[in-house]
Amino acid sequence: MGGAVAIGLASMLGTGVFAAWTPAMNLAGSYLLLALVLAGAIASLNAWSTAALARVHPFAGGAYIYGRIRLGRTAGNVAGVAFVLGKIASAGAAALTIGTYIDAPHATWIAIAAITAMIALDLRGVTRTALVSAVSAAIVISVLLVVVALCFVNQPATTSSQVAPLQPGALGVLAAAGILFVAFAGYARVATLGEEVRDPARVLPRAIAISIVIVFALYVIVGVVVLHFVGPLEVRESAPLRQLALIVSGPGLATVVRVAAVVAAGGALLSLLAGVGRTLFAMSREGDAPRALAEVSATGVPQRAQIVAAVGASVVVLIGGIGPALAVSGASILTYYAIAHLAALRMGADEPRPPRIVPLLGLAGCVLISVAIVLAGRF
């Protein structure tokens, strides 16, 4: 249980908490917290359906497997492709976050270097263990709590560079919820542990629930201070928590935040590339992706699939910023969960299915927010 929760926390406390606030504020303005609540609600509904399916199908693959079993091969393929595209975009966003927090003017090339370094580790079979995940999560939580505490202790005077917060329409709030949803999406990593934990029917649902509750509470606290201090600023940086640290404390705390961001985003990038590569490997093994991607090295690593994942993340880095990358990731991953909700609706009365309202609301929310992301088009 502890290991599964640690992996869930580390997967969610990665790119999103350091990078999603600025593009979300550009869309939702003063309604940022409403968008965050919507994102948390959709994440909870997705987790409920996913956990119910994981109890019955404790296999690696998540909605790709659930869709194949419950809805047919086509639905499984849609989920698999959506997962791969969404996580490749997330990997690109994670790499750009590393670059932005290290040196924003050269973020693109630092991001490419980060992808190269992480894929080198992945090809050697190095992935995050539960212990490393726990350490990473502890570092990020500690730094965030310090920043929040200093925000309440050292409240700076209002600056002259403030403007009235944007008052968006419903479309902007929904699109912002989709971007913030990416910050929660790491709990899907817990659902893929079905073959690696003891008593998955008991452990997986509880680990997902605990992870989401902890992360949601932390995001609400951070969201409040970001909206209060960074939100009104005329110029918002793409590294909003570093900007927040500079406002409330100075360069010393900003350096600590920079290190925490690189640690969190680096860990997320490592596991994202590994997850995408292994999903591509599983799909190719089932005949749903090119067979060439099913080749593994002597150490059991799907090298070709891993390289494809790294190339895809590099393309994202080269053609888009953090905001667009998170938007693509949000729309794709919500499509993935829409398949999971459809699969949950097919569960029988003799199975531990969720109340029917859960997958219905979850499906409607995933579709609505995905459409809003596409229509909003400004991040």
Domains and CATH numbers, the chain: 2-154+166-376 (1.20.1740.10)
- One-letter amino acid at 200 equals P
Average pLDDT over residues 214-238: 86
Average pLDDT over residues 215-230: 90
Residue 273's pLDDT band (cuts 50, 70, 90): confident
Let me know the angle formed at the C-alpha of 83 by 78 and 84, rounded to the nearest 5 degrees.
Answer: 100
Residue 162's φ and ψ, nearest 5 degrees, are -100, 150
Give the percent of the chain with pLDDT over 90: 43
Q: What is the DSSP track for 303-349?
A: HHHHHHHHHHHHHHHHH--HHHHHHHHHHHHHHHHHHHHHHHHT--T
As a whole number of angstroms, the longest Cα–Cα distance in the chain is 63
Give me 48's structure tokens. Answer: 């409920």
User: pLDDT digit string (tens) for 276-312?
Assistant: 887 888 788 878 888 888 787 776 778 888 899 999 9
* Per-residue pLDDT, 373: 94
* Per-residue pLDDT, 166: 52
pLDDT exceeds cutoff 70 at 127: no
* Per-residue pLDDT, 233: 78
Average pLDDT over residues 39-45: 93
* Per-residue pLDDT, 283: 83
* Per-residue pLDDT, 156: 60
pLDDT exceeds cutoff 90 at 54: no
Q: Is the dihedral of CA 170, 174, 179, 181 positive or negative?
A: positive
Residue 160's pLDDT band (cuts 50, 70, 90): very low
> Would the pTM of this model clear 0.85, i.e. be above it?
yes
Give the percent of the chain with pLDDT over 70: 89
The DSSP code for 71 is T
User: pLDDT digit string (tens) for 316-363?
Assistant: 999 988 999 999 999 999 999 999 999 999 998 888 889 999 999 999
Average pLDDT over residues 181-197: 70
CA distance 255 to 261: 10
* Per-residue pLDDT, 97: 94
Orientation of helix 2-12 relative to helix 200-229, angle to 10° = 30
pLDDT exceeds cutoff 60 at 161: no
pLDDT exceeds cutoff 80 at 81: yes
Reported in sequence order, the residue ranges of the chain that DSSP labels E, i.e. its strands, are: none
